[in-house]
Amino acid sequence: MWRSEWAAVAAMSVKAETWVHGRRGDIFRMGRRSTEWATAVCVAEEQQSQAHFNIVVLKLSLVLTLALAEMILVKELQIFGTALPLAFQPSNGGGEQPPHRPRRKGQKRKLEDEAAASASAAAAAAAAATATPSSLGSAVADDDNEDEEDGSVGPEICCRHSQASLAREVRTQVDALNRCFSWRHADRAAAKRATHVLAELAKNEEVVNVIVEGGAVPALVCHLKEPPALSVVQEEHQLRLFEHEVEKGAAFALGLLAVKPEHQQIIVDAGALPLLVNLLKRHKNAANLRAVNSVIRRAADAITNLAHENSNIKTCVRIEGGIPPLVELLESQDLKVQRAAAGALRTLAFKNDENKSQIVDCNALPTLILMLRSEDAAIHYEAVGVIGNLVHSSPNIKKEVLNAGALQPVIGLLSSCCTESQREAALLLGQFASADSDCKVHIVQRGAVRPLIEMLQSADVQLREMSAFALGRLAQDTHNQAGIAYNGGLVPLLKLLDSKNGSLQHNAAFALYGVADNEDYVSDFIKVGGVQKLQDGEFIVQATKDCVAKTLKRLEEKINGRVLKHLLYMMRVGEKSVQRRVALALAHLCAPEDQRTIFIDNNGVELLLDLLVSVSLKHQLDGSIALYKLANKAAALSPMDAAPPSPTPQVYLGEQYVNSSTLSDVTFLVEGKRFYAHRIALLASSDAFRAMFDGGYREKDARDIEIPNIKWNVFELMMRFIYTGSVEVTSEISQDLLRAADQYLLEGLKRLCEYTIAQDVNIDNISDMYDLSEAFHATSLRHTCVLFILEQFEKICIRPGYLFSLGFSF
């Protein structure tokens, strides 16, 4: 057996000898492993027989050669054109990236992205559980070969077992952790493997409860600290394998468990916080800096998750002394440590004034501001987040941040390649702009407006919202209002009103409210169709509706003087679309005393009427609404809403003479019945009767006059009006009475009839009513019909042919 192994090693060495030539750097990194194994060989030589020593040497040679081949063979595979042996195949198959894991709900930091060891390290850890010196050596070598921990993901643990099998698996790992709290090689390897398995299981949110209920929290907390120190004799003969690795795995697993709020306090009650804080301080006495940085990052991430939205734990972290070491770690040489420390401080500063004060007192601001200028997106994202949480609702800290020079770096982040950083920077600038007017001006002067406006057109909803928020605060300054409009901010802000996001709508509306206060750009506001956009918008929250109403009121107050003159100029010489927008806006916003100047002298009415015959239904609707608004302004009271005025005062004969033969000098024959009348009363009532009795008509001298086209009840009511000046007109008889009143030119009776008829105007009969007004010269009824059509245009226009069948003209 040994001969075959030696043969395989010898064959492999022939190839390896040519590969390692010129690769002294790679071989140098193997030196530390060789030294560790030399120590292991010495121990074996002292404790074992010579025969056993030879076996250890054999295994050592094989392991070293395999490790070297694993490191180099993958890189040189194509040169030799050979397939990798099964032992060297990547655990996820063919070097393909592991499948993407969905983001854990409620997790503040994506700890999975910095997940555990590489596949080779995990395999080595599993092998190390056998506790043989040779296998332990392989584990150390593979673990140290983890070049980029954040980019690798260990083998996924299958979490689709039954609850019972999961509980047994968890119990197995917890038992291993409880048994293996020592520096013995087998114990450290088993502990590392157990923390890794629990962490992999914890990545599945459905399994987290099973892990906690299985007693994993106390066991993991115990392994946040080192086992009891070795004696001097033991130190001489035994290595500290997996130093910092078990603590890192325990911190990682606890951080994943802390994602669920109900588990945060359980972990803290188990004593995790002081141990995690101690892990943050390991860099001060670090022999293996890379391993120390890894455990520090895991500890910082665990603190972040424990304190997430938990004010009590945030306070506990401060009491345990966690803030000073986190601030100190902002200056670490390791960028990942910087990021993790900033992430923890960001969480601790949120809505906790005492934590904010201590962070500032620890002199974190200068370093955080330097981090804002980092080219690493992850670094400046966390830094701007910390500063944003520090200044939130803290005016004094806001001043300190500005005095420390944060303004320009934050403005620079508006152009970051990182969308999250842009969003945080815009939010922070909005908070700065709320401080005082000078700061608003400085932000604009230093170049923030243009990138903020560009962000309004981003595909990211939150980015658009934060930029609108910042512009809304900046727009409370007159000069900034002009800057926003000049740099093209009006159109993208108006487009945001179409959003289905209520918060985004409101921030855009608030920014437009500010811009509308600047007289120099009211004309531009109207020119781009801003008034129509405000009027047509479907706004989700009441606050936005109120803001839009105030904006329209503000614009209305500006329509005078030079603003009105500019608008009239545009209505005369501008493009047709601009002329229409101006006419539509002025119909809603102009003062009644300016209507003649705008719509008669400057042809504003013609522009509105043109819209009614446009091929665009939207134009027709806009025109009808504008004309309706204009008509309502022109008339203090609508004919539909008020009774007609009393007829011209005159002397009436009275009710007793209606159809009375007393002193009657003329008789009308209606439907075969006689109606007694008096010429004096008829002559005074209308020009029609005066022509009948004083003109050259045959009725002049006739005693009996036949009325062939009027019903008796209609004629009786008409005569009653002539004799008394009033009559009750019902809807049943109103149209016939209107016809009779028009025939005999009784204007007062016509007004009464028109008023009664107008009460019954609706979509179904509007066409007939309009025809009636035209046929009998009923001006008041005609106006009522026109106003009704304009007001109800949107409903009427869906009835084919209705509008055009009216054939009316204005």
Q: Are residues 290 and 171 in the same domain?
A: yes
Count of H-run helices and E-run strands, the chain: 47, 3
Q: Are residues 58 and 171 in the same domain?
A: no
Let me know if residue 476 belongs to a domain: no
Compute the distance between CA of residue 192 and CA of residue 129 in angstroms, rounded to an integer.
9
| Confidence grade of residue 230 (pLDDT, cut at 50, 70, 90) | low
- DSSP annotation string for 446-513: TT-HHHHHHHTT-S-HHHHHHHHHHHHHHTTSHHHHHHHHHTT-HHHHHHGGG-S-HHHHHHHHHHHH
Q: In terms of DSSP H, where are the helices of 404-460?
A: 407-412, 419-433, 437-445, 449-455
**Residue at which a domain ends, from 32, 61, 82:** 82
- 638-658 confidence digits (pLDDT tens): 444 455 555 554 557 788 888
Identify the helix (H) or strand (E) that includes residue 560. Answer: none
Q: pTM of the prediction?
A: 0.69
Residue whose tokens read 């997996």: 242
Phi/psi at 666 (5° precision) = -155, 145
Q: Are residues 697 and 793 in the same domain?
A: yes
In terms of Cβ atoms closer than 10 Å to its own Cβ (0-12, 13-18, 19+), residue 786 is buried
Q: Are residues 171 and 288 in the same domain?
A: yes
Compute the distance between CA of residue 608 and CA of residue 131 in angstroms, rounded to an integer.
92
- Check which CATH number belongs to the domain holding 776 and give it: 3.30.710.10
Q: Are residues 163 and 75 in the same domain?
A: no
**Residue at which a domain ends, from 43, 61, 82:** 82
| Confidence grade of residue 70 (pLDDT, cut at 50, 70, 90) | very low
Let me know if residue 433 belongs to a domain: no
Compute the distance between CA of residue 684 and CA of residue 653 in angstroms, rounded to an integer.
11
Q: Are residues 164 and 19 in the same domain?
A: no
Cβ pair 531, 489 in contact under 8 A: no
Q: Work out whether strand 704-707 and strand 673-677 pair parallel, antiparallel, or are unpaired.
A: unpaired
Compute the distance between CA of residue 344 and CA of residue 301 in angstroms, rounded to an integer.
7
- What residues make up the domain containing 247? 157-321
Let me know if residue 377 belongs to a domain: no
| Radius of gyration over every alpha carbon of the chain, rounded to an integer in angstroms | 45
8-state DSSP, 285: G
Beta bridge partners of 599: none
Displacement of CA 168 from its chain's centroid (Å): 44
Q: Are residues 317 and 231 in the same domain?
A: yes
Let me know if residue 148 belongs to a domain: no
**Residue at which a domain ends, from 51, 82, 113:** 82
Q: Are residues 203 and 314 in the same domain?
A: yes
| Confidence grade of residue 15 (pLDDT, cut at 50, 70, 90) | very low
Dihedral (Cα; 262, 268, 271, 273), 10-degree rounding: 140
Residue 569 CB neighbour total at 10 angstroms:
13
Determine the 3-state secondary structure of 405 from DSSP: coil
Residue 756 CB neighbour total at 10 angstroms:
22
Compute the distance between CA of residue 191 and CA of residue 535 in angstroms, rounded to an integer.
68
Percentage of the chain modeled with pLDDT above 90:
56
Tokens of 771: 């025809």
Cβ pair 213, 257 in contact under 8 A: no
Residue 523: how many CA atoms within 13 Å on its side-chain side?
Answer: 15
Length of the chain: 810
Q: Specify the number of domains making up the chain.
A: 3
Q: Are residues 72 and 203 in the same domain?
A: no
Mean of pLDDT values over 186-209: 94
- 493-531 confidence digits (pLDDT tens): 999 999 999 999 999 999 999 999 999 999 999 999 999
Let me know if residue 389 belongs to a domain: no
- DSSP annotation string for 182-202: SS-HHHHHHHHHHHHHHHHHH
Q: Are residues 302 and 194 in the same domain?
A: yes
Residue 366: the pLDDT is: 97
Displacement of CA 762 from its chain's centroid (Å): 44
More confident residue, 68 or 174: 174
Q: Are residues 303 and 186 in the same domain?
A: yes
Residue 585: how many CA atoms within 13 Å on its side-chain side?
Answer: 32
Let me know if residue 265 belongs to a domain: yes
- 280-293 confidence digits (pLDDT tens): 998 776 667 889 99
* Lowest mean pLDDT segment, chosen from 211-225, 311-325, 429-443, 687-701: 687-701
Q: Are residues 164 and 70 in the same domain?
A: no
Whether residue 81 has pLDDT greater than 70: no
| Confidence grade of residue 242 (pLDDT, cut at 50, 70, 90) | confident
- 655-702 confidence digits (pLDDT tens): 888 888 888 888 999 998 999 999 888 888 888 888 888 776 666 677
Among 229-233, 751-755, 785-789, the range with the most confident prediction by mean pLDDT is: 751-755
Residue 111: the pLDDT is: 36
Mean of pLDDT values over 112-133: 36
Let me know if residue 716 belongs to a domain: yes
Short-list 230, 215, 237, 225, CA closest to 133: 237
Let me know if residue 399 belongs to a domain: no
